[in-house]
């Protein structure tokens, strides 16, 4: 959400106010489980708060200098092609199927595989219903036909926890999310936060930072051209961020 020129001052502010330490405390409350590397969750990166984005941004800047160019390129592609290309992976996923930002990955990524099956299915149903509504809107209002695969449910991830006591309950999920929103109110106007304007997938945060917020207006044109077989508009934006560093 933040243009690149504003990120550094907000980062310093968040550091000085101890917001990253608060975020780490929130994450520490979650059970830590092994990832089986099935890739399912990384095909649909979940929403991340503004503070979570800053946390990941700082990590990329300091720990991933060699990977930054690739991450930015993939984030721009993700921004324009989501949800038209359902098999797209999260830009932070490496070719070796590892999360490049695992120590700072957002809450939504950490929760995958930690919910009870019934709770997961309820959330997944809501996600698919939203996608159906989006697909219908794009079809009727913009003449864009999304591939049917976009509407497929993702299978339940069971990381062999062995028992249900280590799982995260829905009340806890709601509490974690509220804590994330409260942290964002320390960074930007609370009205924006509670209208959920600071929540979006990490690659979308990043693409808007490097391209600028006005690029949202071009998203559908680029998606339409891509689905019609032309990468030209997409490549124009990808070329614009070549050489960009965080
Ligand atoms: S941030 Fe990491 S864990 Fe989350 S979707 Fe991306 S690659 Fe997967």
What are the tens digits of pLDDT across the range 30-70? 887 777 777 788 988 999 999 999 999 999 999 999 999 99
Asked if residue 168 is part of any domain, the answer here is yes
- If one residue of 39, 92, 206 were mutated to test the ligand 1 pocket, choosing by the most ligand atoms within 8 A of its CB, it would be 92
Is 136 domain-assigned?
Answer: yes
Residue 71's domain comprises 4-240
In-domain check, residue 245: no
Query: What is the Å distance from ligand 1's center to 70 Cα?
Result: 15
Q: What is the pLDDT of residues 140-188, one digit of tens each?
A: 999 999 999 999 998 888 765 555 557 888 999 999 999 999 999 999 9
- The answer to whether position 246 is within a domain reads no
Determine the distance separating the centroid of ligand 1 and the alpha carbon of 38, expressed in angstroms.
12
CA 71 / ligand 1 centre spacing (Å) = 12
* Domain membership flag for residue 194: yes
In a domain, 235, yes or no: yes
Phi, psi of 145 (to 5 degrees): -100, 110
Let me know if residue 62 belongs to a domain.
yes
Task: Indicate the top mutation candidate among 71, 109, 113 to test ligand 1's pocket, ranked by most ligand atoms within 8 A of CB.
Answer: 109
The tally of domains found in the chain comes to: 1
C-alpha span between 100 and 228 (Å, rounded): 32
**C-alpha span between 151 and 147 (Å, rounded):** 8
Rounded CA separation 181/192 (Å): 10
In a domain, 35, yes or no: yes
């Amino acid at each position: 959400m933040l243009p690149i020129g504003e990120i550094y001052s907000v980062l310093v502010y968040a550091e000085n106010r101890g917001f990253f330490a608060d975020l780490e405390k929130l994450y520490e409350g979650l059970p830590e489980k092994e990832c089986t590397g099935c890739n399912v969750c990384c095909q649909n990166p979940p929403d991340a708060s503004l503070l979570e984005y800053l946390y990941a941004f700082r990590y990329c800047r300091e720990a991933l200098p060699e990977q930054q160019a690739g991450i930015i390129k993939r984030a721009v592609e993700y921004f324009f092609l989501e949800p038209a290309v359902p098999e797209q992976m999260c830009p932070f996923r490496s070719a070796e199927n590892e999360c490049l930002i695992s120590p700072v990955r957002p809450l939504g990524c950490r929760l995958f595989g930690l919910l009870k099956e019934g709770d997961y299915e309820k959330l997944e149903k809501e996600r698919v219903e939203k996608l159906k509504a989006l697909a219908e809107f794009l079809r009727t209002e913009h003449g864009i036909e999304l591939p049917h695969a976009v509407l497929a449910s993702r299978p339940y991830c069971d990381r062999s926890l062995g028992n249900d006591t280590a799982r995260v309950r829905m009340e806890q999920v709601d509490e974690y999310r509220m804590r994330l929103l409260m942290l964002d109110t320390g960074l930007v106007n609370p009205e924006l936060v509670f209208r959920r304007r600071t929540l979006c997938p990490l690659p979308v945060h990043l693409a808007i930072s490097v391209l600028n917020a006005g690029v949202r207006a071009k998203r559908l044109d680029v998606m339409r051209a891509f689905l019609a077989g032309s990468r030209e508009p997409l490549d124009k934006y990808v070329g614009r961020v070549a050489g960009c560093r965080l």
